[in-house]
Structure 1
């Protein structure tokens, strides 16, 4: 079975309440982004709290599991969020209503902002409770945007850069499809209404027999990681995974066959999807130049594991399955375990 290129959504905060209206803080770093009051247990899946449908309203969430039990699987402790392509996003054991369709939700490096594609196909950012929405780029029509990711970098004292060089990393990269043509585009996060620019993967060597230029079309599923603006992405026609890095000068490396890649928080490892014996498996490998060994985290898979995401500590990988979301240790020390029956795109809020 080939990997399905689903445009899932990822999840945002939802906070459980006790009797009265006690607010719990959202998972991730402490900030003014406090979460809303949760609806009573028993509210319909995906519904808002009684009497309100405003963004930020939390409600009970979960899909029926065998035996009728609902398993949300998200919590403040595990940082997991799940977006389902609706207005609500699962987090902290409940859901948050963003007041608009949320597709492919991704978190900023500090966890204070979410980026997603709304129902109009526009690229939007918002606070974790769904408020403060800003349209970074408006879809011109005739295009499908998906899977945004926050390119970021931190200053490395050992690397000399020109003043202001890191400004270019205050950027969101996303995939665009028009007339069947796939490409990566980027917009600055501090310029609402900006016109996207095409991100062109290339090698600093200018191309040679030993260092050919990577494909310029067919690129999709970008995912940033590490501290130097690295981005992993997939090339659909070639069924190859690449890493693009322009911290000092642009460079692109081929990482092997696969799709839907995700970089670990430290940028040292890569997880990706590859079809094996009729099912989609999760593979990991080091991003180091001299390390090419791969590890199958799901060697006994009897279902499909797709759309992987790393936990903030780099120890766990969450993946979408036909039945919800499962997690697996990043070192492969245990088999995958289903943690949620919510069906959607998993992501972790730092």
Structure 2
């Protein structure tokens, strides 16, 4: 039985082969989003955005009025759509300026929804894999966090619990305390944190969904290719950024020499070269491999994201 790590790599290879066979586009993908993920055009660096819980979103250094409160904005892989939680706690998808808003799911009350992420992947008929175009998010009920999912194209849809199965023969994974999901890559892979265990987990959404713990940390962000995860870990009383290569389980401190600044809520650029990170004084950017020093991008404090 392959581990979640091995299956993620195997699935990614199968998808790459299928892309080559079909000329770079998955002809059987079930949605436009899935087709866009499969295109072979070179990824761009992307535009930095910051949402701060108001109706205005900082996009490329300019404020854009979305018309409603925007919390925890997340961009679709092709940059054409934004997902966020509005002021009523509902899950919303809109165009890149807030136009064309659709309430994907209405909060039933008594819950706090947060941190939506796009799970978009193409179909691979030869592997028996269906296309995916979903949103995964955290639902908190009476202080208990769980991960839920709903189709990104839904209108007043009904979210359901996200399956979190362990690897074959391993103990069951925690079903509560899970938060901060981040999905990326072409295989439907996601990572998330658990507040009870203090660990980051990887979720493989293959034929038999399974997952496992990766490392101690919180607030994980999966790289665009799905091969690497960046997360937050406390070192000597301050929040550092760490990375882990999913292929080799190699963990690296990206901010080893900074002993005074807390780095939190990392976000990847679409080309995988840069991280945008929250600090107490604003948003900084830094090389994803940890080289060089962080550079202040804006004094605006909020959740950073990149739009392709």
Pair in the same fold by TM > 0.5: yes
- 1:318 lines up with 2:276 in the alignment: yes
1:10-89 alignment to 2 at 5 Å?
Answer: 78-89=46-57
- Write out per-residue CA displacement over residues 238-269 of structure 1, whole angstroms, 9 at most, x where no aligned residue: 01000111122201021110000010000111
Q: Structure 1, unaligned stretches of length 5 or more? A: 1-75
The answer to whether the 8 Å contact 2:163/2:209 transfers is no
Name the residue aligned to 1:161. Answer: 128
The match for 1:144 among 112, 120, 123 is 112
Pairwise CA distance, 1:226? 1.1
The answer to whether the Cα contact below 8 Å between 1:117 and 1:145 also exists between their aligned partners in 2 is yes
In 2, the alpha carbon distance for the partners of 1:252 and 1:239 equals 16
Query: How many Å apart are 1:155 and its aligned residue?
Result: 3.9
Secondary structure of the structure 1 residue equivalent to 2:121: coil
Q: How far 1:84 moved relative to its partner?
A: 0.9
The CA distance in 2 between the partners of 1:234 and 1:343, in whole Å, is 22
Pair 1:298-2:255 in alignment: yes
SS in 1 for 2:221: strand
Question: 1: distance between equivalents of 2:61 and 2:111?
Answer: 34
- 1:129 partner SS: coil
Q: SS at 1:110's partner residue?
A: coil
For residues 54-203 of structure 1, the aligned pairs below 5 Å read: 78-156=46-124, 159-161=126-128, 165-166=130-131, 169-203=132-166
- Paired with 1:335 and 1:204, the residues of 2 have a C-alpha distance of 38
**If each structure's helix is expressed as a fraction of its own residues, which one has the higher value?**
2
CA distance in 2, matches of 1:170, 1:293: 30
Call closer, same or farther: CA 1:312–1:98 in 2, change over 3 Å. same
Alpha-carbon contact 2:166-2:210 (below 8 Å) kept: yes
Select the structure of larger CA radius of gyration. 1
Q: CA deviation at 1:78?
A: 4.7
Name the CA distance, whole Å, in 1 between partners of 2:59 and 2:174: 37
Q: In the TM superposition, what is the alpha-carbon distance from 1:338 to its structure 2 partner? A: 1.3
**C-alpha distance in structure 2 between counterparts of 1:193 and 1:204, whole Å:** 34
* Counterpart contact for 2:46–2:307, Cα < 8 Å: no
Give the TM-score normalised by the residue count of structure 2. 0.83
1:74-116 residue CA offsets vs partner (Å, 9 max, x unmatched): xx97511110110000012211001110000001111100000
- Offset at 1:188? 0.8
TM-score, length of structure 1 as denominator length: 0.73
CA RMSD across the alignment: 1.4
Report the secondary structure of 1:152's partner residue.
Answer: strand
3-state SS of paired residue (2:201): strand
SS in 2 for 1:201: coil
2-structure distance, mates of 1:299, 1:347:
23
CA contact (8 A) 1:172 1:186 kept: yes
Q: Following superposition, which runs of at least 4 residues in structure 1 exceed 4 angstroms of deviation?
A: none
Cα offset, 1:200, TM superposition: 2.3
Q: Which runs of 5+ in 2 are unaligned?
A: 1-43
- SS class of match (2:127): coil
CA contact (8 A) 1:138 1:193 kept: yes
Once residues 305 and 161 of structure 2 are traced to their aligned partners in structure 1, the CA distance between those partners, rounded to angstroms, is 25
Aligned to 2:20: none
Task: Give the number of the structure whose residues are more often strand, by fraction.
Answer: 2
Match of 1:338 in 2: 296
- 1:221 — aligned with what? 180
